[in-house]
Amino acid sequence: DGGITQSPKYLFRKEGQNVTLSCEQNLNHDAMYWYRQDPGQGLRLIYYSQIVNDFQKGDIAEGYSVSREKKESFPLTVTSAQKNPTAFYLCASSIGFGSVPYPADEQYFGPGTRLTVT
Amino acid sequence: AQKITQTQPGMFVQEKEAVTLDCTYDTSDPSYGLFWYKQPSSGEMIFLIYQGSYDQQNATEGRYSLNFQKARKSANLVISASQLGDSAMYFCAMRDRTILGGNEKLTFGTGTRLTIIP
């Protein structure tokens, strides 16, 4: 079964600790994305990556870091510098504009990780 | 100004009836893409339908259709013969190039919570 996996589904951390959220895809997609969702709001883009070893900041990158060492994996680290880390985090992937003409290229999402920091 | 506006925070619809979820957008890019996603209570975002700004016909996917009115900048989602399983949050999103990184970025609306009544 092809898809995107995120683990764990629920994560609890103490304030001041860094935490890494996992995202893996076996869709052979070039592009991967991280979004944050707060209650009553839409998704906001944190980071995205179009190819391995390259990534770009989204709209709310402060306090977050990512890496893209493998095509299949795009982990997100929530650092202690993130002021309000409690949120629902969604990872997505898409074929990428190397293969799909703009503006198509729909994004496919994982099940999400709900992070609670106390 | 909001790039994507969903004015209906919540809707209640009788089972088997058709429902229209509103979405208006704002862009100066003549080439853009519009997407609708469904988010059940489990949290995963499910891609429903895509409409490109140059597409001649309104997009359709099974029970989903997109009422695309370019001059009015609206892209309403129509669900025919609603089912109990359609109860979820629905998000409209747009990709355009008026913002940095717009080739890749999706901008989401705040969503509409649809509840189907038996």
Strands (E), A2-117: 4-7, 10-13, 19-25, 31-37, 43-51, 54-57, 64-66, 76-78, 87-94, 108-109, 113-117
pLDDT band at B97 (very low <50, low <70, confident <90, very high): confident
Question: What single-letter DSSP state applies at residue A45?
Answer: E
Per-residue pLDDT of B69-91, as tens digits, reads 999 999 999 999 999 999 999 99
Residues B59 and B51 sit within 8 Å (Cβ to Cβ): yes
In this complex, the residue of B32, B35, B53 whose CB is nearest that of residue A106 is B35
In this complex, the residue of B33, B42, B109 whose CB is nearest that of residue A103 is B33
Residue A117 has pLDDT above 70, yes or no: yes
| Chain A residues lying within 8 Å of B111, measured CB to CB | 42
Q: Are A103 and B95 in contact (CB < 8 Å)?
A: yes
Q: What is the predicted pLDDT for the residue at A1?
A: 63
Q: What is the predicted pLDDT for the residue at A100?
A: 66
Question: What single-letter DSSP state applies at residue B70?
Answer: T
Count CB atoms within 10 A of the CB of residue B12. Answer: 11
Mean pLDDT, residues B95-109 taken together? 75
Q: What is the predicted pLDDT for the residue at B106?
A: 86
Task: Name which of A6, A27, A34, A43 to mutate to probe chain B: the one with the most chain B Cβ atoms within 10 A of its Cβ.
Answer: A43
Coil/strand/helix, residue B57:
coil
Handedness of CA B91, B63, B40, B84 (dihedral sign): positive
Q: Are A50 and B96 in contact (CB < 8 Å)?
A: no
In this complex, the residue of B52, B104, B109 whose CB is nearest that of residue A42 is B109
Q: Are B35 and A102 in contact (CB < 8 Å)?
A: no
Per-residue pLDDT of A29-87, as tens digits, reads 999 999 999 987 889 999 999 889 999 999 899 999 999 999 999 999 999 888 899 99
Q: What is the predicted pLDDT for the residue at A103?
A: 73
C-alpha count within 13 angstroms, C-beta hemisphere, residue A48? 22
A→B contacts (Cβ < 8 Å), by residue, are: 31, 33, 40-45, 48, 50, 56, 58-59, 88, 90, 92, 97, 102-112, 114
Token match 């070039």: residue? A30
Per-residue pLDDT of B34-50, as tens digits, reads 999 999 999 999 999 99
Q: What is the predicted pLDDT for the residue at B39?
A: 96
A14 min Cα distance to partner chain B (Å): 24
Q: Are B91 and A42 in contact (CB < 8 Å)?
A: yes
Task: Classify each residue of B41-74 as buried b or exposed e, where b means 16 or more C-beta atoms within 10 Å of its C-beta.
Answer: eebbbebbbbbbbeeeeebeeeebbbbbeeeeeb
